[in-house]
Amino acid sequence: MMKHKIYTLSLIIFLSFQVKAQEVLTKKEALQITLENNYGIKIANNNLEIAKNNSAIFNTNRLPTVSVASGANYRSDNQTITRQDNTVTEVDDAVTKSYNASLNLNYTIFDGLGRKYNYAALKENYNLSEIQAKETIENTYLQLFNLYFQIARLSENNTNLKEALTISKQRFERAKYKHQYGQSTKLELLNAEVDVNNDSIALINSKQQYLNAKRSLNIVLGAQKGVDYEVETAVTFSQILNFEELLTKAKAANVLLKKTEKNLAISQFNIKINKASYLPRVGLTTSYGWNKSENPATSFLAQSSSNGLNAGLNLTWNIFDGGGTKTRVANAKIAVENQQILLQQQNETLENTLKNTWSLYNNKLFVLSAQEKNVASSQNNFDRTKERYNLGQVTSIEFRQAQINFINAKTAYNNTKFEAKLIELELLQLSGELLNTEI
């Protein structure tokens, strides 16, 4: 008996050490790991870097182009020369050599302001890429905490199911003893055994969902973590403003609206870029060159060389291009109109979505408050039923029903708690405040 007690005590200490030693992945740590390692966020940051490169002055044709050219030519001919006095000279392998080198500079002085508006459009493209990166981070943020809170929910549900299984096993042991001493029927024993099996199956299934959710979370984290960690299960709700203030923030910061606003600005610049083709272009070309040639005996000059500066201005004006520019300008104006229509639609859709989400959020908070009372009532009912069951005043069926009611009440409360938190995150995303609020 003493050995059994020592073994039990050692097992309890060992299990306690294991629980304490198990890693807890906090919400803050999960977010930090995701921001550093998530594949989608890495790609979004790379795309932002590309947009930054594209918006630099080197991609706007505002700087001159400078080039160096050089060459050497060799020519060997058999030449026959007949002069005016009919004398003839024949030269075999008459060699001509020539060399050249030049430094060239080309610069467009004026292109109808196309470069100016193109540069402005590239800046807006960079701003759009920033918003798209923020959108990716927000969506990943939601995906992360959907899985994180799913793990937290399943963790608490597992605790409830373990507690239910423990109670069912105690009831089964009690039913065995009672049956052995002839104080209960075989039916009561079988019912207790079935309930133990059902509770075991429910716990196994929940544990499998728990492990699957952890593996899915690892993909979002972008890190190869094991599945032997715990998560925080405590939930705190933010002090969200009233609906009108929430709507005002959404109109100012919602990423979908900001994306459409940037696309509208880019479309407006495209009109000006295309209109630049109506105006003339003025360009500057200049070069400094060196040339040398070595001639055969049949040539008047034995050799020659030259070097010097050459510069010039050129003007081109495409007075009529067959209507191509007119078509592009007309299409650019239609694109602007489409963006304006889309922006109006998204404003209306956002307001409607925000109203629905706000209503659902408040409903969930009300239900959560009611379920909290249900948990207290069902626990009180279960405790009293358990006492009466131990005294033989209620049947095993009544006891089991009280147990199920208690488990269901705790599970419903647990599920609603995390559902309400996820809806709160959706509200924060709609208002553009998701990344500015601590979870």
Instruction: Give me the pLDDT at residue 274, please.
Output: 95
Residue 329's pLDDT is 96
pLDDT digits (tens, 9 = 90+) for 6-42: 333 333 333 333 434 468 999 999 999 999 999 999 9
Tell me whether residue 131 is in a domain.
yes
* The last residue of a domain, from among 316, 343, 365: 316
103 and 116 in a common domain:
no
Helices 114-180 and 27-37 cross at an angle (nearest 10°) of 140
In a domain, 15, yes or no: no
Q: What is the pLDDT of residue 305?
A: 86
Q: Are residues 382 and 299 in the same domain?
A: no
Is there a single domain that holds both residue 251 and residue 329? yes
Domain that holds residue 223: 23-61+111-279+321-436
Amino acid 88: pLDDT: 72
One domain, residues 298 and 407: no
Residue 46 and residue 182 in one domain: yes
Question: What is the tens place of the pLDDT at every residue in 287-318?
Answer: 999 998 887 766 667 788 889 899 999 999 99
90 found inside a domain:
yes
Residues 342 and 395 in one domain: yes
Q: Are residues 204 and 244 in the same domain?
A: yes
Residues 122 and 179: their CA atoms lie apart, in Å, by: 83
Q: Supply φ then ψ for residue 385, to 5 degrees.
A: -65, -40
Angstrom distance (rounded) from CA 130 to CA 120: 16
Domain boundary among 316, 342, 376: 316
Q: Are residues 158 and 267 in the same domain?
A: yes
Question: In 10 A of CB 200, how many CB atoms?
Answer: 14
Instruction: Report pLDDT for 12.
Output: 35
Provide the pLDDT for residue 298: 67
For the chain, which ranges sit under pLDDT 50?
Answer: 1-21
The domain that holds 401 is classified in CATH as: 1.20.1600.10
**What whole-number distance in Å separates Cα of residue 110 and Cα of residue 316?**
10
Count of other CB atoms within 10 angstroms of residue 41 = 20
CA distance 166 to 156: 15
Same domain, 243 and 99: no
Domain count, the chain: 2
User: 289, 316, 343: which is the final residue of a domain?
Assistant: 316
At residue 63, what are phi and psi to the nearest 5 degrees? -105, 155
Which pLDDT does position 15 carry in this prediction? Answer: 38
**pTM higher than the cut 0.75:** yes
Q: Do residue 309 and residue 162 come from a single domain?
A: no
